[in-house]
Amino acid sequence: MTDLLEETGDERADDALGGLARLGVLPVSAHADVFEEVLTGLEQALASVDDAPDRHP
């Protein structure tokens, strides 16, 4: 597996995506669980955007 991911700039998203690094050492049968964990982490990061102080682009 190659290193395709770069930091997103959002610590919560980066932490969630960091779980993908485990894929290279796990059997394929365990990949679905990792994807589920990463998805859950990304969903939580996205949901917490509504809780963050106002940010203007």
Confidence category of residue 1, pLDDT binned at 50, 70, 90? very low
Burial of 16 (0-12, 13-18, 19+ CB in 10 A): buried
Count of residues in the chain: 57
Strand ranges (E), the chain:
none
Residue 11 predicted with pLDDT over 80: yes
Q: Residues 31, 17, 23, CA angle at the centre, nearest 5°?
A: 30
Token pair for 14:
């980066």
Q: How far apart are CA 42 and CA 37, in angstroms?
A: 9
Model pLDDT for residues 13-54, shown as the tens digit of each residue = 898 898 898 999 999 999 999 999 999 999 998 888 876 666
pTM value is 0.73
